Amino acid sequence: MGIALCFVPLILAIVIFSTAFKLRLTHQLIAVLLGLAAVLPISFIQYFMPAIPGLPLSPVVRALLKSILLYGLVEEAIKTLALLPLTHKPYDEANCDNPAAGRLNYLLLAFTAGLSLGCFESVVYYFDHLQIANSRGATLLYGQIAVRIFTSDVIHMMCTGLCGLFIYSCRNKPVRISCMIAAVLLHGIYDFFAGFSGDIRWFSVAVVLMAIIECRIKYTSLKTDENATN
């Protein structure tokens, strides 16, 4: 039952994108597969990536750098590479009768890929921390697991969306490298706060809200560029 719940956000997203936005199901399934394909290289690199050298830094700064480099830069770089084979020609400005709709649909496909990766990661997190909760007999941990899974899904979705906007801008100009930078920083800072066990971990929820706002801002800025060009 718990495993099925981990994939509910992905299923709901596909249903909404298919019905409300008329996004092709085959393109969404390709996005799901690309999201899953990114899991293995991300896990491999994170496992074998060497620790940060012994620099004269405080433990907090070292933890922040590790989160930004390991979870931010590595994950978002791999997700960006995974998005490259994503169907894009029908959504490019040169091939689309409605560029605004094409840009939105490509963003939704990036959301789908990110949610796919996030849901699979949620399954791993669920099993890992459920064992801890059961061994301690701490039912309170179940709520924390649910919050972590939900916020992780959203941060993966938004950051992959930002990576998608970066790729879209590279193909349709002007290039927006700030989209990629924002994805790396937001993901890294989210994992930094989410790694704490105390109340400070709730700052990760604020980072999720910031990611939603940032994705909206970047998407709107691309739309503004298009209107200025026209």
Say what the pLDDT of residue 187 is: 97
How far apart are the C-alpha atoms of 38 and 18, rounded to whole Å? 23
Residue 142: its pLDDT value, please? 60
Mark the ranges of the chain whose per-residue pLDDT is less than 50.
Answer: none
Instruction: For the chain, give the percent of residues with pLDDT over 70.
Output: 86
Look at residue 186 in the predicted model and tell me its pLDDT. Answer: 98
Whole-number pLDDT of residue 148: 72
Residue burial 113-149, b: 16+ Cβ < 10 Å; e: rest: bbbbbbbbbbbebbeebeeebeeeeeeebeeebeebb
Distances (CA, A) of 196 to 29, 30, 63, 75: 35, 35, 10, 20
Q: What is the pLDDT of residue 189?
A: 97
d(C-alpha 171, C-alpha 159), whole Å: 19
